Amino acid sequence: MAFASEFLRYGGLVLQVAALILLVFGPLNRYFPLFLYLLSLVATTGAETWVIRSVGVSDNLYFNVYWGGEFLLDALMAFLVISLTSRGLEGTPMRSKTVSLLFAIVAVAVLVPFVAFDSDVFGRRWNQSVGQLLNFAVALMNLVLWSSLLLARQKDRQLLTVSAGLGVMVAAAALTLGVRQFTNQGDVLRDIVDWVHRLSQCVGPAMWCWAFRVVKPRLTTPPVDATASAG
């Protein structure tokens, strides 16, 4: 089990780096917010791996690195979804209202924790609640993005794939943080959702690699000249 966990951790990191490289040599300008997110994702994954191997998960350093990275990634993810939605709805009358709705969702998700949650601010339980709320908010925003892309007359398959990969990662993160609040270490349900979360960290970047892959143009055979072949 430990080997499989490490395999998924390093496998996810490799896929993240691969997606980052494909993006740099591909549509970087179009997906620059995703570049920032992937760069931060690689950095936080590497930092967590180094801290785990150096001091272990029980040290306070791991707590700070983990939750600092989580909140940074959540903020970048929200910015990414807003950016993708704005691009996907470019030239449509729904663009301004939809983007305003997404900003309103972000504002609510940021303010609610300081009003509704009674746990110690920046404590473990408070961080889990905030992380779950932020991921749920981003998942809702991504659903708005996905719906707008599906309703568009011209389907942007690359953008749909990018949005789908993001949705997989966000949904798994929200599920994991939610289950952790109601289960204890070693519970079967917690182990299952932890594995789902690890797997999502591979599936999401893999979908981005697929979206940014280099597609070679198909070679077409020129039509045969019937008069030339007859002569």
pLDDT in tens, 29-58: 888 999 999 999 889 888 888 888 888 777
Provide the residue ranges of all domains of the chain, joining segments of one domain with +.
Answer: 28-214
Q: Are 113 and 133 in contact (CB under 8 A)?
A: yes
Question: Please, which pLDDT band fits residue 208 given cuts at 50, 70 and 90?
Answer: very high
Give yes or no for a contact between 12 and 198, defined as CB atoms under 8 angstroms apart.
yes
Residues 6+ apart with CB under 8 A from 87: 30, 159
Q: Give Cα separations from 200 to 29, 144, 175, 221 (angstroms).
A: 26, 21, 11, 42
pLDDT category of residue 178 using cuts at 50, 70 and 90: confident
Per-residue pLDDT at 115 exceeds 70: yes
Identify whether the C-beta of residue 212 lies closer than 8 Å to the C-beta of residue 19.
yes
Distance CA 139, CA 163 (A): 10
Sign of the torsion angle spanned by Cα atoms 121, 126, 127, 130? negative
CB 28 within 8 A of CB 17: no
Question: What is the pTM assigned to this prediction?
Answer: 0.80
The half-sphere exposure of 111 on its side-chain side, counting CA atoms within 13 A, is: 6
Q: What is the mean pLDDT of the chain?
A: 81
Q: Encoding tokens for residue 99? A: 């983007």
